[in-house]
Chains A and B, each alone.
Chain A
Amino acid sequence: MKHSGEFPMARSLPDAPLDMPKQMLERRSFFDVIRLTLSAITGR
């Protein structure tokens, strides 16, 4: 979300993205682990 050009502070808010990966908070079931492993191997 950005401000349009006519907004006084439009170009001042720094454009400096930072990755914020989702954390794992729930334990995965055995089948979840197999499904995730397979999807990682197949690239899907």
Chain B
Amino acid sequence: MRRSTALRLLALSLAAALTITGAYVFLRLTGQGGVTAIDLLRTALVVLTGFWLIWGSAAAILGVLTPSRLIQGEPTQAPKGMTAILVPVYNEDPVATFSRIAAMNRSLVALGIAERFHFVILSDTQVMETAALEVVWFNRLIDEPMGAGRIFYRRRERNVGRKAGNIEDFVARSGGAYDYALILDADSLMEGATIGEMARRMDADPQLGLFQTVPHVINARTLFGRSLQFAAAYLSPTFARGAAMMQGNEGPYWGHNAIVRVRAFAASCGLPELSGKPPFGGHILSHDYVEAALLSRAGWKVQMDPALPGSFEEGPDNLIEYAKRDRRWCQGNLQHARLVGAPGLKFWSRFIFLQGIMAYLASPLWLLLLVASMVALVPEQPSVVRGFSKTDISAWTLPIAVAAILLLPKLAIWLRSILDGRNRSFGGTLAAGGSVVGEIVLSTLLAPTLLFLQSRAVIQVLLGIDGGWPATRRGQNWISLADAWRASWWIVAIAAATLAGAVLLASGSAIWVAPAMLPALLAPVLISWTSRPKRGTATPKLFATDSELAPSSVIKEQRAIMTAWTIQGSSIEADAASVRTPTHVIA
């Protein structure tokens, strides 16, 4: 039996055993004197939600127990294969995006391996002013070292098939010229050494179809953004290491900061439109999971290495932007319900689809459990099954167990980081410990708001309703209290009604409802408060990351380029008026 299969079985058995134990304890507590229909429903909900909670923690604990090994070859050794570094853009700020490309290019040039890599900007930009600026800044970009003949730009007039269609268009037209394609997002940034290592790993294993890095979030400016950034840098690699141990050669693809073997990708990953109308039919939205499953189906290895450093992305800086992204991912993941039974997929791929679906369905199920628990307090309900005798098990057993499942992995990561010295790059053991506690507090405070937002997203997707978010302006991170109220008044109303109902109808239930509903009452304040940008240029100790305290060379290079280009910007963009009509880019 393969190691990954054995670990999957072990983790699944552990999660199943703990879930069954939890369900028994729950039924034993609630079913004293008689088990009602609502008790059975609640037990079923405990099983559904509890399993996925334990499963997530099992992956993290596995990651804590697994050694982290960095295998990196000689950075100056040029790979044999030719790589196209694809940068799909869609109405992005060209100065920010192209400065990242310039920084990555300089990093490759400095290593002496640039001739094996081409950059291809795949623009799907629909705003004509932005498209004109892309052309202006592209002309600046090709003045970069070795830029001529290695950096390309093309724009589609219609973004058919969105990002997946954009990549597919490139593969269909120019894919035959390249061995590998490194697929990035507009906000991706990677060290040249990391890019080189990815291509060399593709050289070394002809069966490797896709190789995914674990990107760290950078450039966060708010409390919310910096807490996400800290979690991505400090906690995620361990979760990912545990997941990678179980995934083996059927790893994930997150749509960016990953390299693919072009011929394998072309032969296996042409995505059809699904029959029927959106949200479940039409174009496949979360294409990355599907592409990973299709590569596995065709016999290619899909691997991830959380130990490989030098892979970065940017994240949402406030909860509204986070929820907007989450709404898109929710729709994409729920659409995978159509693909769980797709022909020929490996068991693990189907399981990953199911896991992605449950990541979103869990929120409404938790809410349903809360509502059912309040209904259960209505007296004189008939028993449907003979009950249990009195028990000495404390009613706090399960809440404490849930808290332990949520907190244990984070504390274990901190303890391991003391032992392996990793805390030093996060400001020391005390600072890292403070940040872990801060992340736990902040994520606990925001959890009820996210629970409501995710539940609404699921309902909207199932009913085919548009999200209807208030517009936020580019570059403006701060959400005013008024905007936060507009986005979350309904959460406050539901929380207030639930708390009032609990106090008036069954005061004994208030203590169970309060931990979820009290933070929800503060949703607008939390959204606005966590979106405030940090003051000054100094890095606060809370949520300090390795990339903030000692930015890697490509981050520093990109910031320097961005500053220089922003100073040049006004004169360059003034010239854009003369090229407003992009006649030189034709469809």
Give A residues with C-beta under 8 Å from B.
Answer: 1-4, 6-9, 12-27
Q: Is the CB of A23 within 8 A of B175?
A: no
Q: Smallest CB-CB separation from B175: which chain A residue?
A: A18
Q: Is the CB of A9 within 8 A of B153?
A: yes
B159 to chain A, nearest CB (A): 12
B297 to chain A, nearest CB (A): 8
Q: Smallest CB-CB separation from B158: which chain A residue?
A: A1
Q: Give Cα distance in the complex from A34 to B342, angstroms.
A: 20
Chain A residues with CB below 8 A from B399, complex form: none
A22 to chain B, nearest CB (A): 4
Q: Is the CB of A8 within 8 A of B139?
A: yes
Q: Smallest CB-CB separation from A14: which chain B residue?
A: B177
Partner of B275, one of A3, A18, A26: A26
A28 to chain B, nearest CB (A): 9
A13 to chain B, nearest CB (A): 5
Q: Give Cα distance in the complex from A4 to B171, angstroms.
A: 20
Q: Is the CB of B266 within 8 A of A20?
A: yes
Q: Give Cα distance in the complex from A23 to B349, angstroms.
A: 16
Q: Give Cα distance in the complex from A8 to B148, angstroms.
A: 9
Q: Is the CB of A13 within 8 A of B584?
A: no
Q: Smallest CB-CB separation from B294: which chain A residue?
A: A23
Q: Is the CB of B153 within 8 A of A18?
A: no
A21 to chain B, nearest CB (A): 5
B556 to chain A, nearest CB (A): 29
Say whether, besides A1-B587, A9-B142, A20-B270, A25 and B290 are in contact (CB < 8 Å). Answer: yes
Chain A residues with CB below 8 A from B172, complex form: 17-20
Q: Is the CB of B338 within 8 A of A7?
A: no
Q: Give Cα distance in the complex from A16 to B337, angstroms.
A: 36
CB of B271 within 8 Å of the partner chain: yes
Q: Give Cα distance in the complex from A10 to B409, angstroms.
A: 53
The contact sample of 16 A-B pairs, CB cut-off 8 A, is A6-B583, A13-B120, A13-B154, A14-B178, A15-B173, A17-B172, A17-B174, A18-B175, A19-B172, A20-B267, A21-B267, A24-B272, A25-B272, A25-B274, A25-B339, A26-B272
B134-178 contact mask (Cβ, 8 Å, vs A): 1 or 0: 000001001000000101111111000000000011011111111
Q: Is the CB of B262 within 8 A of A18?
A: yes
B27 to chain A, nearest CB (A): 38
Q: Is the interface of A mostly helix, strand, loop or mixed?
A: loop
Partner of A3, one of B171, B341, B585: B585
Q: Give Cα distance in the complex from A19 to B180, angstroms.
A: 15
Q: Give Cα distance in the complex from A24 to B584, angstroms.
A: 38
For window 274-307 of B, CB contacts with A under 8 Å fall at 274-275, 284, 290, 294
Q: Is the CB of A16 within 8 A of B175?
A: yes
Chain B residues with CB below 8 A from A7, complex form: 584-585
Q: Smallest CB-CB separation from A24: which chain B residue?
A: B343
Q: Is the CB of B266 within 8 A of A18?
A: yes
B356 to chain A, nearest CB (A): 15
Q: Smallest CB-CB separation from A27: which chain B residue?
A: B343
Q: Which of A4, A12, A26 has the most CB of B within 10 A?
A: A26
Partner of A25, one of B153, B342, B585: B342
Q: Smallest CB-CB separation from A25: which chain B residue?
A: B342
Q: Is the CB of A21 within 8 A of B270?
A: yes
Partner of A20, one of B153, B156, B171: B171
Q: Give Cα distance in the complex from A15 to B174, angstroms.
A: 5
Q: Give Cα distance in the complex from A14 to B586, angstroms.
A: 17
For window 224-278 of B, CB contacts with A under 8 Å fall at 262-263, 266-272, 274-275
Q: Is the CB of B338 within 8 A of A19?
A: no
Say whether, besides A4-B585, A16-B174, A27 and B154 are in contact (CB < 8 Å). Answer: no
Partner of B271, one of A3, A8, A23: A23
Q: Smallest CB-CB separation from A9: which chain B residue?
A: B152
